[in-house]
Amino acid sequence: MTAESIIHRELRARIAELTTSFPPRSTEPREFQGARFDAGLAWVHFPLGLGGLGLSRSLQGYVEELLAEAGAPDNPARRIGIGLGMAGPTILAFGTEEQKQRFLRPLWTGEEVWCQLFSEPGAGSDLAAVGTRAVRAGDDWVVNGQKVWTSSAHEADWAILLARTDPDVPKHAGMTYFLVDMTDPGVEVRALRQITGEAEFNEVFLTDVRIPDTHRAGQVGEGWKVANATLTNERVAIGGDDSVRESGMIGRIASTWRERPEVRSTALHDKLMTSWVESEVFRLNGIRVRQKLAVGAPGPESAGLKLVFARLAQTISGLEVEVNGEDGLRYSDWTMTRPDVVDFTGRDPGYRYLRAKGNSIEGGTSEILRNIVAERVLGLPSEPRADKDIAWKDVPR
């Protein structure tokens, strides 16, 4: 029997024990997810005692298949995606043992929702320009500043925060990474209503917020290094989801094409076939990136994945409006809402067309991602950066 066969057998036995002790049909979903975490079946590549078994990440898909066959409940991934895809991997890589023990389990079960306090009005594409200040005060840090475009801040219990701790050094060197309790005094969340009518994004104002040093992730001044790990995982989370052929938006428009012959034309057919092929290339490239991720940290290729995702989402949503004709212009509900999740597939074409406009901004603007691909994947010369060696406080604004 091969080593792989032995591991598969052990995983099957572990899953059988889990589903016997916690029958999926009768166990409350959050309780089941907690038991799954304790059994090491949350992230199998995480260490023992932290939701994993220390195995290869490539085995995660096998575990998911077995759990699905057993009728196990899904993790509410859309609602807690920032925790699962960004906070979790970052805490594992840079957090203290106490932080890992404290945060990973409730993050996995969905007991605690996370958001990301990175972008600012003056530091969006140029994230290293953040001006939110964190000043040491004994065993705490006192934070003042403003963040913007924060997804799910109105739902979040915790946040990952990038703040300026040393203005006297170049901008990339003077930042530190923190874990913030969103219920602390001084944290104010304000809705940002979007073109879709809803407000999934927020402004967050931080006024004399005290963060204990025990909630710092990584070393003081190494915030850029920690944040880059978060951003790389974010781009995989946004653009590299595990999908089957003709899933997502291309699947919806293909179904419309098959079911409504009256909408067909030669011009639209050519556009649809081009988008279909590009979607399939994107899906297969996503598999390749996830395979690389299975044997290590995601590389700069994740930037290319997210870049193509944004372009395809906007192209396909525009084509869907064309294919649906008058129906494509309909918008069912413009009521101001504060959604738990972003639901692309459960809404009408008009919603998808408008919401897709944000895909080229969130998770890193397409312009910045092109620079990453050019410099770190293709090896082209980097753009001139006049402020690279200047103290942050001396950079003109």
| pLDDT one-digit tens code per residue, 16-57 | 999 999 999 999 999 999 999 999 999 999 999 999 999 988
> For the chain, where are the alpha helices, taking DSSP H only?
3-21, 29-38, 60-69, 81-82, 88-94, 97-109, 223-239, 248-259, 266-294, 301-324, 349-355, 366-372
Give the pLDDT mean for 360-386. 86
Q: Are residues 275 and 163 in the same domain?
A: no
Q: CA 74, CA 78: separation in Å to the nearest integer?
A: 11
More confidently predicted of 19 and 79: 19
Is residue 68 within 8 Å of 85, Cβ to Cβ?
Answer: no
The answer to whether residue 391 sits within a structural domain is no
More confidently predicted of 277 and 243: 277
CATH number at residue 184: 2.40.110.10
**H-run or E-run covering 217:** strand 216-217
| Structural domains counted in the chain | 3
Query: Among 27, 47, 75, where does a domain finish?
Result: 75
Give the pLDDT mean for 332-354. 80
Among the listed ranges 44-48, 63-67, 77-81, 86-90, which one has the minimum average pLDDT value? 77-81
The answer to whether residue 387 sits within a structural domain is no
Domain that includes residue 205, residue range:
84-223
Please report the beta strands in 106-214, taking only residues with DSSP state E, as ranges in sequence order. Answer: 114-117, 133-137, 140-147, 158-164, 175-181, 187-192, 201-212
This prediction has a pTM of: 0.88
Q: Are residues 249 and 364 in the same domain?
A: yes
pLDDT value of residue 145: 98
Query: Among 223, 258, 278, where does a domain finish?
Result: 223
Q: Are residues 321 and 341 in the same domain?
A: yes
Summary mean pLDDT of the chain: 90
pLDDT value of residue 296: 62
Is 234 among the catalytic positions? yes
pLDDT value of residue 239: 59
The answer to whether residue 393 sits within a structural domain is no
Q: Are residues 117 and 12 in the same domain?
A: no
Give the pLDDT mean for 328-341. 80
Q: Are residues 291 and 326 in the same domain?
A: yes
pLDDT value of residue 78: 79
Q: Are residues 198 and 291 in the same domain?
A: no
Among the listed ranges 65-79, 162-176, 201-215, which one has the minimum average pLDDT value? 65-79
Which residue bears the tokens 């572990």? 14
Q: Are residues 246 and 348 in the same domain?
A: yes
Catalytic residue, candidates 234, 246, 262, 301? 234
Query: Among 223, 252, 285, where does a domain finish?
Result: 223
Asked if the model's pLDDT at residue 240 lies above 60, the reply is no
